Amino acid sequence: MADKVIKMPVNYEAEQAMLGSIMMDTNVANDFTTLLREDDFALQQHKQIFLAIYNLIQNNEPVDALTVADKLATSGKIAEAGGMEYIGKLATGIPSTANADKYFEIVKRDSLLRGIIEAGNKISKNAYTAEDANKALDFAEQTVFRISEEKEASKLEPIVEASSEALNKINTMQRGDYVDEGIKTGFKLLDRKIESMKPGALCILAARPSVGKTAFALTVAINAAIRNNKKVAIFSFEMPTVQLVQRMLTTVSQISFKRQKQPGMLNFNETQRLFNAHEALSNSKIYVDDNSGNTPGDIISKCRRMKNTVGLDLVIIDYLQLITLDTKSKAENRQQEVSTMSRQMKLYAKELGVPFLVLSQLSRGTEQRGEEPQLSDLRESGAIEQDADMVMFLHRPKKVENPKSEESKFAASYDDDGDHKFVKMLVAKNRNGETGNVYFDWCGDMQTFKPIDIREMSTAEEKQPAAKLNTEITSVEQMRSDDDAFDDMKMVDDDGQKGTVEIVMDDNATPATIKEEPLDFSDSDGMTFTNNESGDQSINNGDLPF
């Protein structure tokens, strides 16, 4: 029995009917020409006729058999298109254009099937010669995805449906039932300003080196994954995975780098906190890729795979200027390359429907000026600020003589050689919320950012950042902080004396702890701290390991 001949998916009659309908009806021409491509037509003469039609519409010229034939004749393509007689038959051989949408459906269906066949041939050919199986798989995914992208035809639609959806969203907000689909940073003062990082948004976090941008991004990842059970992908181009995870362990456990490095320094309580942090991170949905050779194509391919398998809510990239384009996308200079990568990150965020938090370097101009960073300081490309939905700068305010503002007074109170630094977050651009400033106490040794509300401080001496509170009790029972700024905690000593004190709860994901069994305060001289609401409160030897 002879082998059955397999034909390519093509319907020449549908192609003829589609082209004839376009030449007969101006409305059909306007509605469907922009949704079709040259390769949607299998027959070469149909490709030429379609290109002539497309060029006429682009030049706002009338489309009919005569104008199409003239366009082909002047370009020397009339014979290749089948001649004047064939074009005339196309235009007169359709009794009605009422079924144009059906002709379009058939043409696009066969075009898609041919594209899949061609993609399969390319994937097969590449697999025969590939030396790296993972790269061959990435090539296959990218090839197939390009077909799915081309399949999604779009056109202008009436706004009635979008308006109804927007109205429903407003009504939901007014009822108090609206659930923000964005990703919170986990820092209350910052989230009040930006609200959240929205799905499909490109969010840029920029700073000069050693200001803490990686630590800040990792804290956002911790907050999203541990507190809100989000799936986070981190692409690190600068730091290996183990080093990143050690930083995250430090943030969650609140055990300083200094103590970690000294042999035998960690006590039982600290060791337990370290294991608790390990367990929390191990149970989270944080995924890290530290391949410094990842191209933008690699990033989107891996993100698509993660979204289709375990889900994906947030992508973090550290950092933009370290990404290299693949050979096919190389530009004339580095500025054009960074512009291309910035645009690609925005398109990827939109495609995946998740926010991209992309770290970026700032130019040296900020240091030379000695002033706050500006959007124009984004290194190597002005396209970054255009593509970004949100731009945030981390900046250390310069100390000044005779400080007068609350910001300058607070900056002056910090020791330049100390572990704690005063850091200013400038929200310079925000399409979905406010711009402005948020302040933090940044402790590099603990990898911790503590929000500071300087509006509630008359001088820096009246209140120290929460990160500087560091006393001990002998044992603790873990208790997570809720979304309130304070919780009441009862502390009871051996003599049965009770007292209630308001404890400042952390704004990041680190668990707060307190001992509920009797405490021994006999050796305590006590300590004083100031809370955010009601002034000084005295407590005895209370452990604040958060």
pLDDT in tens, 252-305: 988 888 888 888 878 888 888 889 989 999 999 999 999 888 888 888 888 988
Q: How far is CA 525 from CA 361, 480, 528, 542, in A?
A: 47, 28, 10, 11
* Percent of the chain surpassing pLDDT 90: 27
- 3-class DSSP state of 70: helix
Q: Identify the CA nearest to 301 among candidates 337, 351, 237.
A: 351
What pLDDT does 4 receive? 66
Any idea which residues carry the catalytic annotation? 238
Find residue 538's DSSP bridge partners. Answer: 528
User: Does the pLDDT value for residue 459 go beyond 80?
Assistant: no
- Burial, 435: exposed, middle or buried (Cβ in 10 Å; 0-12, 13-18, 19+)? middle
The DSSP H or E segment spanning 428 is strand 420-430
What pLDDT does 460 receive? 40
Instruction: Tell me the domain boundaries of the chain.
Output: 12-151, 198-401, 469-539
Give residue 26's pLDDT band: very low, low, confident or very high (50, 70, 90).
Answer: confident
User: Does the pLDDT value for residue 540 go beyond 50?
Assistant: no
- 3-class DSSP state of 314: strand
CATH topology for the 198-401 domain: Rossmann fold (3.40.50)
User: Does the pLDDT value for residue 199 go beyond 80?
Assistant: yes
Retrieve residue 493's tokens: 């000593």
User: Does the pLDDT value for residue 95 go beyond 80?
Assistant: no
Mean pLDDT confidence for 463-488: 35
Domain spanning 12-151, CATH class: mainly alpha
What pLDDT does 545 receive? 32
What pLDDT does 138 receive? 78
End-to-end CA distance of the chain: 78
- Cα angle, residue 336 at apex, residues 290 and 364 outer, rounded to 5°: 75
Give residue 35's pLDDT band: very low, low, confident or very high (50, 70, 90).
Answer: confident
Q: How far apart are CA 147 and CA 358, in angstroms?
A: 27
Retrieve residue 296's tokens: 């933008």
- Name the residue with higher pLDDT: 278 or 416: 278
pLDDT in tens, 156-193: 677 777 888 888 888 887 887 777 788 999 898 898 88
What pLDDT does 3 receive? 59
Q: Identify the CA nearest to 213 among candidates 5, 379, 430.
A: 379
* Percent of the chain surpassing pLDDT 70: 75
What pLDDT does 470 receive? 33
Retrieve residue 317's tokens: 């990239």
pTM reported for the whole predicted model = 0.62
What pLDDT does 524 receive? 36
Give residue 230's pLDDT band: very low, low, confident or very high (50, 70, 90).
Answer: very high
- Name the residue with higher pLDDT: 314 or 58: 314
Q: What percent of the residues of the chain are helix, what percent strand, and what percent coil, each to the nearest 5?
A: 45, 15, 35
